[in-house]
């Protein structure tokens, strides 16, 4: 299984869920880039973790370290997020493993009942960080990928650090 990075979907929409699986919003890929998985416990300062690195391979122009999306301005989203530490995305993409700036180590794979597609389990490999991530494809329309994050990162994403080191609107 290797997904060539070719899905050039001009309009990738991403449905965003909280742990209640309430559809919160539909985003475009560019929105996803600003999403943060860093939902922190309670309200201890919702750290914004800008995500995305190479993400959807050729699908977008953010390949490499080119993300330039302002992360502030997701407050509404963060509000939703700070409720729990579980976040699910449904993305329409050929690539399932989107690099959000963290290092993920795969620790399991399971066939999904009622679906020909397996489900993959990832863990953040950064020290002491026990964030988990689960990726599977939609059973019906396997052009959709369901990504579920669980937990809060112990540390900032390398990218977030990068962001924080930059002037607030360096990329606008």
Partner DNA sequence: CGCCTTTGACCGGCGC
Partner DNA sequence: GCGCCGGTCAAAGGCG
The residues binding DNA (CB under 7 A) are: 1, 103-110, 112-113, 119, 121, 123, 125, 132, 134
Give kind and range of the element (H or E) at residue 24. Answer: strand 23-28
Phi-psi region of 137 (alpha: psi -120 to 50; beta: other; left: phi over 0): beta
For residue 149, the minimal CB distance to DNA (Å) is 12
Name residue, tokens 């360096």.
Answer: 170
Nearer to DNA, 70 or 118 (CB): 118
Which residue's CB is nearer to DNA, number 29 or number 131?
Answer: 131
Smallest distance from the beta carbon of 92 to DNA, in angstroms?
A: 21
The residue count for the chain: 172
In the complex, the smallest distance separating the C-beta of residue 122 from DNA, rounded to whole angstroms, is: 7
| Listed residue (131, 136, 35) closest to 93, CA to CA | 136
């Amino acid at each position: 299984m290797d997904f060539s990075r070719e899905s050039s979907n001009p309009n990738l929409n991403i449905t965003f869920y909280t742990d209640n699986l309430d559809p919160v919003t539909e985003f475009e890929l560019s929105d996803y880039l600003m999403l943060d998985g860093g939902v922190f416990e309670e309200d201890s300062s919702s750290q914004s973790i800008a995500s995305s690195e190479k993400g959807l391979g050729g699908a977008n122009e953010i390949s490499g370290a080119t993300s330039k999306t302002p992360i502030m301005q997701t407050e509404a989203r963060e509000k939703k997020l700070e409720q729990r530490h579980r976040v699910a995305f449904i993305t329409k993409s050929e690539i399932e493993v989107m690099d959000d700036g963290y290092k993920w180590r795969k620790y399991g794979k399971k066939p999904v009942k009622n679906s020909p597609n397996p489900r993959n389990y990832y863990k953040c490999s950064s020290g002491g960080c026990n964030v988990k991530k689960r990726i599977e494809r939609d059973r019906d329309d396997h052009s959709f990928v369901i990504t579920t994050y669980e937990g809060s990162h112990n540390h900032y994403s390398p990218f977030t650090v990068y962001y924080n080191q930059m002037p607030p609107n360096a990329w606008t």
